[in-house]
Amino acid sequence: MSRIGKKPVAIPSGVTATVSGQTVEVKGPKGTRSFTATDEITIRLDGNQLSVAPRSTSRTARSQWGMARSMIENLVTGVTTGFRKELEINGVGYRAAMQGNVLKLSLGYSHEVNFDVPKGVTVTTPKPTEIVVEGIDQQVVGQVAANIREWRGPEPYKGKGIKYKGEYIFRKEGKKK
Homologous superfamily (CATH) of 3-80 is Ribosomal protein L6 (3.90.930.12)
**Residue 13: strand, helix, or coil:** coil
pLDDT band at 6 (very low <50, low <70, confident <90, very high): confident
Checking if the pLDDT of 21 tops 90, the result is: no
Domain boundaries, the chain: 3-80, 83-164
Alpha carbon dihedral 81, 100, 115, 138, in 10-degree steps, equals 10
Q: Do 3-80 and 83-164 come out as alike in CATH topology?
A: yes
Q: CB under 8 Å to 77, separation ≥6 — which residues? A: 83, 138
| The architecture CATH gives domain 83-164 | Alpha-Beta Complex (3.90)
Q: What is the pLDDT of residues 64-123, one digit of tens each?
A: 998 999 999 999 999 999 999 999 999 999 999 999 999 999 999 999 999 999 998 999
Average pLDDT of the residues of the chain: 92
Average of pLDDT values for 145-158? 94
The whole-model pTM stands at 0.87
Rounded Cα–Cα distance for residues 8 and 65 (Å): 12
